[in-house]
Structure 1
Amino acid sequence: MLEALERSALAAGRAIMEIYNTGPAVTYKADTSPVTDADYRAERIILDDLATAFPDIPVIAEEAVAAGHAPHIAGKPFFLVDPLDGTKEFVERNSHFTVNIALIENGAPVAGVVHAPALGVIYATSGGVAFKATVEDNRICGSWQPIGCRKCGDRPLALTSRWHNSAETLVYLAEHRITDHEAVGSSLKFCLLAEGYADIYPRFSRTMEWDTAAGDAILRAAGGETLAIDGGPLAYGKRNQPNDSDFANPWFISRGTA
């Protein structure tokens, strides 16, 4: 399975970079978040690839859901897809945008790929091991290298959202005496925790499941965890929520090895 996800993520990344280099067409959703032709093109590539390789596994994809298309997933494994996570970064020509594909089983992310095409890196997990590789000319170069979370020291480094930081996040950092923090876009935050670059990512603003699933899968495989504010693992496949829309996440804290 992982090889098919990698190929699809690389193909989507190639399409995204073609539009990145020529300039995207930007429109805005009802929530004022931007969406581009790169989002739609990458999602079409991924959906076609997944339908061919895994015709029996339903897919929840960001732009399809926005258009009102969400298949039945109760009791089934399913994919979560964000074809271009960090669209604001993409529009602003920052390199912190990613392609995210994750497999969910029993509410948990068990396999996933995060590809950062502008940075030339790809992260992946399957079978409980996390890996990273370099990408050149839309191909994986060399061998996959295993990655793992680092043990948190006396001066933890926190990662925060570049565009969606919040007062609650700053309060959390102050209460836990975390003075070192860095703003990073997209699902890269999970991957940087997974490879031992940073220690904690508190997220006290809104995210959707497709934003987090692939990165969360990689982080968990690398020895980390993502906990909702009630203390339980962040769950996936949330529908009919009384206080929020389908697939919306609660606030959470991701962290490497304690």
Structure 2
Amino acid sequence: MLTSLIPILRRAGRAALDIYEGGFTVSHKADCTPVTEADVAVDEIVVSALQKAYPAIPVVSEERVASLAAARGAHRFFLVDPIDGTKEFIRRTGEFTINVGLIEGGEPVAGIVYAPALGRLFLAEPGEAAQELCEKDTRTPLKVRPCADDSDLVALASRFHDSPETRDFLRQHAIESCVTAGSSLKFCVLAAGKADIYPRFGKTMEWDTAAGDAVLRAAGGEVVTLDNAPLAYGKPGYENPDFIASSPQARARCLGASRAADTGP
């Protein structure tokens, strides 16, 4: 389903890069988060394409306040973050992404994460393994890496959203190796088997996580809340609780048995 959107996302990525390389102004929304012309330009391209291709499926976009009511009570809807990692965009680290996630029954069942400045595109489709597409559209399957009980875990952390809770989590679980990455690329690093766990404490929104969550789940990973329940979508206000993204083994080592195992027959 989302494969047909890849040319649209690449066109949106070119528009973002034109702004990225040519100069832009930074303003702030009511919640004090930054926004640039690229957020608006990519939103227009991606949301318009989704509405045209799938008119029966509501689209919720970070940049469209009016869209927030569109999916209320809907079984199936899109979540769009036109530029995830605006701070990465502003600081020109290259680690910003365009995110499109498809939600069904509260779960992210498909997603695209596109990092135009890096030329990397990650895809999850229903019933298929997660993949990374190279510029010539060759596809590399993605799979989280297993970690033995006695192996050292490698954690991921946000470059601009460090927190005492994250540092405490790493100390509590004796995780000494930690690397930083921007935007939803952290989910994709996990999906590619380059790290084991990403603990996130602090505010995130569903459009920040849906596409990357879909990619990680399709690669055999998990995204759970601190009480070991799968992160759900379509919540009132679209705000996420704290969560842990990881391989199943890393989650089990840090959080114990999953809720599904605890409540099974």
TM-score interval w.r.t. the shorter chain? Answer: over 0.9
Q: Is the aligned partner of 1:19 residue 2:22? A: no
Matching residue within 152, 158, 162 for 2:147: 152
Q: TM-score, normalised by structure 2?
A: 0.90
Counterpart-to-counterpart distance in 1, 2:10 and 2:47: 14
Indicate the SS of the match to 1:99.
strand
Aligned to 1:125: 124
CA contact (8 A) 2:59 2:71 kept: no
Q: Is the aligned partner of 1:225 residue 2:216? A: no
Aligned residues: 246
Aligned to 1:248: 239
Q: Deviations over 1:223-257 (max 9, x none)?
A: 00000112100000001xxxxxx000000000024
Letter in 1 for 2:184: S
CA contact (8 A) 2:60 2:71 kept: no
Q: Is the aligned partner of 1:38 residue 2:38? A: yes
Counterpart-to-counterpart distance in 1, 2:137 and 2:229: 38
Q: Deviations over 1:98-117 (max 9, x none)?
A: 00000000000000000000
Gaps in structure 2 of 5+ consecutive residues: 250-265
Letter in 1 for 2:124: T
Gaps in structure 1 of 5+ consecutive residues: 136-140, 240-245
Q: Deviations over 1:103-136 (max 9, x none)?
A: 000000000000000111100011231000123x
By percentage of residues, which structure has more helix? Answer: 2
CA contact (8 A) 2:75 2:106 kept: no
Tell me by how many angstroms 1:142 deviates. Answer: 4.0
Counterpart-to-counterpart distance in 1, 2:213 and 2:225: 12
Counterpart-to-counterpart distance in 1, 2:6 and 2:67: 27
Task: Supply the RMSD in Å over aligned alpha carbons.
Answer: 1.2
CA contact (8 A) 1:4 1:53 kept: no
Counterpart-to-counterpart distance in 2, 1:220 and 1:72: 22
Pairing 1:1-258 to 2, within 5 Å after superposition: 1-65=1-65, 69-128=68-127, 129-135=129-135, 141-153=136-148, 154-239=151-236, 246-258=237-249
Letter in 2 for 1:149: V
CA contact (8 A) 1:165 1:205 kept: no
CA contact (8 A) 1:57 1:77 kept: yes
Letter in 1 for 2:202: S
Counterpart-to-counterpart distance in 1, 2:62 and 2:210: 12
Counterpart-to-counterpart distance in 2, 1:112 and 1:185: 18
Counterpart-to-counterpart distance in 1, 2:202 and 2:158: 9
Counterpart-to-counterpart distance in 1, 2:102 and 2:60: 10
CA contact (8 A) 1:9 1:101 kept: no
Counterpart-to-counterpart distance in 1, 2:42 and 2:226: 33
Tell me by how many angstroms 1:71 deviates. Answer: 1.0
Counterpart-to-counterpart distance in 2, 1:187 and 1:125: 14
CA contact (8 A) 2:71 2:234 kept: no
Tell me by how many angstroms 1:68 deviates. Answer: 6.7
Tell me by how many angstroms 1:69 deviates. Answer: 5.0
Which aligned segments of 4 or more residues in structure 1 are displaced greater than 4 angstroms?
A: none
Q: TM-score, normalised by structure 1?
A: 0.92
What percent of counterpart residues are identical?
Answer: 50
Counterpart-to-counterpart distance in 1, 2:247 and 2:164: 23
Q: Deviations over 1:131-166 (max 9, x none)?
A: 00123xxxxx14111110011241111000111111
